[in-house]
Amino acid sequence: MNDLTGKVAVVTGGNSGIGYATAKQFKEAGAQVIITGRDADKVATAAFELGVTGIVADVINLTAIDNLVEQIKADFAKIDILFVNAGIFSPAPVGQASEEMFDNQMGINFKGAVFTIEKFLPLINDSGSIINLSSINAYTGMPNTAIYAASKAALNSYTRTAATELAPRKIRVNAVNPGPVYTPIFAKTGMAEEQLSEFSAAIESRIPLKRFGQPEDIAKLVSFLASDDASFITGSEYNIDGGINVNPII
């Protein structure tokens, strides 16, 4: 396991799914962990289960990010790892995208991610690590994901430039692009249970490894990128998708 002893790590959206699994992985590797989320009850429950610090913050609200940063500064002074994980997925075909849906997805997935990084930068120790959770949808052209995909493509572009500009501080910035993963994000799309089952079956049949990923699969990669074992890796994107991105027609 990658050693994170003595590191302080922040995981946004850490109360469920990939964020939860990564917070658990970080803690098991020796880090002090702070998770954030929008729902106070869910954050409190996850923090108790994981044995970590939980703070309520909605990344679509820049004032909330400011307050989050100030609280972590007061309690921990500095951090070493920032996993920008909070995000939403709202499917809609081209021609039916509402302004509200656009604003929410871009506001959380891109604007929220960017300003989480911007506002945390003064707290991140030199030689720290920032990992952005993106998606292979940034490249696939998958139907009904145009706005979601655009938000993740924008985040990947930001990642590359941030990696270049933060290199003098030895802060590494990388992106992780998961493919289909079993997380609660799908249940929040508003799709009926039957639609979700049909959608999941159609996607799984196209994955060369013939299974969805698990949050723990992603957590292990994020933990590696957060560790000193990845000290020569920055500005990179890692697809972790069971092979679907290189075999899209299977």
**Catalytic site residue 20?**
no
Closest among 109, 100, 244 to 179, alpha carbons compared: 244
Task: Tell me how far apart the alpha carbons of residues 97 and 8 are, in angstroms, rounded to a whole number.
Answer: 39
CA 216 to CA 88: how far, in whole Å?
A: 19
Q: How far apart are CA 126 and CA 156, in angstroms?
A: 22
Q: Is 202 helix (H, G, I), strand (E, B) or coil?
A: helix
The DSSP code sequence of 96-146 is ---HHHHHHHIIIIIIIHHHHHHHHGGGEEEEEEEEEE--THHHH--TTBH
Q: What is the CA radius of gyration of the chain?
A: 17
Collapsing DSSP states into helix, strand and coil, what is residue 14? coil
Q: Which of 20, 148, 158, 238 is an active site residue?
A: 148
Q: Which residues of 11-42 are buried (b: 16+ CB within 10 A; e: fewer)?
A: bbbbbbbbbbbbbbbbbebebbbbbbbbeeeb
Burial call 209-248: b when 16+ CB within 10 Å, e when fewer: eeebbebebbbbbbbbbbbeebeeebbebbbbbbebbeee
Tell me which residues are annotated as active site.
148
